[in-house]
Structure 1
Amino acid sequence: MPSVTSKEIQQLRQKTRELCAKFPDEYWRETDLNRRYPQEFVDILTKEGLLAALIPTEYGGLGLGLTEASVIMEEINRSGGHSAACHAQMYTMGALLRHGNDAQKNAYLPAIATGDLRLQAFSITEDAAGSDTTSIQTAAVEHGDEYLITGHKSWTSRIDESDLAFVLARTSEKAPEDRTHGLTLFLVDLRQVRAEQPETLKVVKVRTMFNYATNQVFYQGMRVPKTAVIGKVGQGFRYVLDGWNAERILLASEAIGDGYWFTSRAVEYANSRRVFGRQIGTNQGVQFPITDAYMKIRAADLMRYEAARLFDAGEPCGAEANMAKHLASEASWAAGNACLDTHGGYGFVDEYDVERKFRETRMFQVAPVNNNMIKAFVATKVLGLPRSY
């Protein structure tokens, strides 16, 4: 794995930065206002191969590691953009790459790499289960050479912008000795569903406080072939865990990108704004919150790289991935508050973009996992304290 200061990493960072420069603040302001999917942005990232970063070269991808992928996500947010439009294609790769069979990889990976197929939807969460994924109720019932999937999912993002979707469903009852047993992961071809059985898939858009193409989804006896099963039947929860570690690391990098954006904008404004005959950045009351937030971001950045290093080396990284996400989300929020305070009333005006990024970065404290759940994880898995849930 190249070092984070290597020439290769710096070239990738510069390439991403140059592509993002084609989409200025006004672009992201418009998509946010209209809750419009930034298709043009996703298209150019796809064309340039960045969304195929984790796909091996033999399938047409860049064959890079999660460290490099995290740099791409960081730079998108650091430029003022919003990685939520495309980050899922990065972290969903793990389930297919690590647990898919050769037929599935050959059928899908080359087309995903070129952009002919879009994989942005991960359908797992349910209202009643929440963070307790092992308690989901969406069921997949065996029927000849197919499974019939019936149930309701919440927070299934970008399904309308996807050709493929991962769907986690229960194929057998939860075993008392292993509560993770009985969940199966399916890679569903949405093109076939929409063309041949549209009545089995109902999508209800959910408007959120920032531009996030998310939905409630109702599966109503949706037929999927047995060839759609990823890995072994009943073992899907374990495959999802691989994606979760990658997801936490990538979203940590997005929060870090936000944090750098906030501190940069705060410094710029503090140096240019003059009140009482001097720059407001002269005041320690302005300087110190920005500086404090910046130091927190730098610290979170180090944990992000450590988690990514372990992931790329195939070593256990659950604790580091979770801690990176927690530290980065807290740091970005501190930076957001410092930036908003620095701008004062102008921070609430949309043309400064602070209020947009402020809304966007708040998500990282609760998704993809609540920070309190991370504390519980570290308390029990790292420190050896009694399980609290």
Structure 2
Amino acid sequence: MDFILNEEQKLMIETARKVGEKFGPDYWRALDAEKAFPTECWQAICDAGLTGAMLPEEFGGAGLGMVEVALIIEELCAAGAGATLAQIFMLNPIFGGVSIAKYGTDKMRAEWLPKLCSGEMQFCMALTEPDAGSNSLELKTSATVEGNGWRLNGQKIWITGVPQSQKMLVVARTTPVGQIEKKTQGISLFMIDTKREGLSHTAIDKLGTNTIPSSQVFFDNVLVQGDELIGTLDKGWHQLLDVLNTERIVTTAGLIGAGRLALKLGADYANERRVFGKTPIGAYQSVQFPLAQHWAELEAAKLLNLKAASFFDNGLPFGSESNAAKLIASQAASAVAERAMQIMGGMGFSKEMHAERLWRDARLFRFAPVSEEMILNYISMANLGLPRSY
């Protein structure tokens, strides 16, 4: 078991660090206040060749693996972005890139993947519904046959990055539940234009992750062309899981980066702030110990996450590792951001110090893209052999 990074990995990390440092905490604070998408930052990431790290070389990618993607995301997020930047990787290299690379047609791969890598094209995915959150098999959005295509009707919620995208990966039922033996049957994936007649979306006002919008999406008799099917008709559920399974690795990498940044902010303040004398507050064990605890938690989450990424790259099951890593990282990132605020006292409540944004953004990932409770359900059944509890 080798924990030593190779030269290519070191170079990619250094590249990510340099790009990330160009867009430090002040950049993200300004965008958060404006609720503006980080267009300039994302383009710089694409220009540096980091977007397509795990996509095929023939289409503009680097042909590397999920380990490299996790390392890149962590470094970018630690430089100033916090956890939010990982979401843009989910939208593009994962939801767009993985689905097209694995299940798209030759035409889709040749036309869309180079534009994804260059930043010319962005993607989003419409899966979650008002009555189908964690239980995605209860989705109601339907696609009914019309000629050589389909008509799409339904509603989605908490869909990320819709206004910036050109393409949307839509998950819909193509065969009604009453006509199938299992709910995993009759589900299909489509890659459609975001701007299309009958497709509308409205923004959701939210606590954090303000630099990437979340929307409700409505499909009102939207025409889907026959060549917009991704994968196999009616057999899209397991193909969807192939796309979603890496989502947790990406999320965890972003949380580890956010946790590292919060640790630095807290420790830097503790080294400088002096009260009741000349000793910096960082000399107090009540300040040191919580930060040390969170450092250990983040390191543990990172090792688990890289193990999951390595398993993915080698075609091995990685569900337990990716779930456990996400559980630890989400709790640690939220806790260390709040601890940094506490160390800063009243100043921690100000936007000037950045910790409050890191806390607001990280808090989302305690229940998204999968909640702590569902992770614990999974571990209980898969790793402890306990009966299903839901």
The residue number in structure 2 matching 1:37 is 37
Kept in 1: contact 2:157–2:215 (CA 8 A): yes
Kept in 2: contact 1:80–1:357 (CA 8 A): no
The residue number in structure 1 matching 2:204 is 206
Any residues of structure 2 matched to 1:344-363 within 5 Å, and which?
344-363=345-364
Identity %: 33
- 1:176 Cα deviation (Å)? 6.4
Letter in 2 for 1:165: M
Kept in 2: contact 1:164–1:188 (CA 8 A): yes
RMSD, aligned α-carbons: 1.6
Determine helix, strand or coil for the equivalent of 1:202.
strand
Kept in 2: contact 1:69–1:90 (CA 8 A): no
Give the TM-score normalised by the residue count of structure 2. 0.94
The residue number in structure 2 matching 1:367 is 368
How many angstroms apart in 2 are the aligned matches of 1:4 and 1:325? 23
TM-aligned CA distance change 1:186 to 1:2, over 3 Å: farther
How many angstroms apart in 1 are the aligned matches of 2:87 and 2:324? 24
How many angstroms apart in 2 are the aligned matches of 1:84 and 1:11? 20
Any residues of structure 2 matched to 1:298-317 within 5 Å, and which?
298-317=299-318
- In the alignment, is residue 160 of structure 1 matched against residue 163 of structure 2? yes
Q: Gaps spanning 5+ residues in structure 1: where? A: none
Letter in 1 for 2:305: R
- In the alignment, is residue 107 of structure 1 matched against residue 107 of structure 2? no
Give the TM-score normalised by the residue count of structure 1. 0.94
The residue number in structure 1 matching 2:56 is 56
How many angstroms apart in 1 are the aligned matches of 2:173 and 2:318? 27
Kept in 2: contact 1:83–1:254 (CA 8 A): yes
- In the alignment, is residue 170 of structure 1 matched against residue 190 of structure 2? no
Q: Gaps spanning 5+ residues in structure 2: where? A: none
How many angstroms apart in 2 are the aligned matches of 1:349 and 1:3? 39
- 1:180 Cα deviation (Å)? 1.1
The residue number in structure 2 matching 1:86 is 88
Equivalent residue pairs, number: 382
Letter in 2 for 1:116: E
The residue number in structure 2 matching 1:149 is 152
Determine helix, strand or coil for the equivalent of 2:182.
coil
How many angstroms apart in 2 are the aligned matches of 1:331 and 1:280? 22
Write out the 4+ residue segments of structure 1 that deviate beyond 4 Å after TM superposition. Answer: 1-4
The residue number in structure 2 matching 1:285 is 286
Any residues of structure 2 matched to 1:106-255 within 5 Å, and which?
106-119=110-123, 121-174=124-177, 177-190=181-194, 193=196, 197=197, 200-210=198-208, 211=210, 212-255=212-255
TM-aligned CA distance change 1:59 to 1:167, over 3 Å: same
Kept in 2: contact 1:293–1:338 (CA 8 A): no
The residue number in structure 1 matching 2:340 is 339
How many angstroms apart in 1 are the aligned matches of 2:286 and 2:293? 11
* Deviation larger for 13-22 or 171-180: 171-180
Kept in 2: contact 1:167–1:185 (CA 8 A): yes
- 1:335 Cα deviation (Å)? 1.4
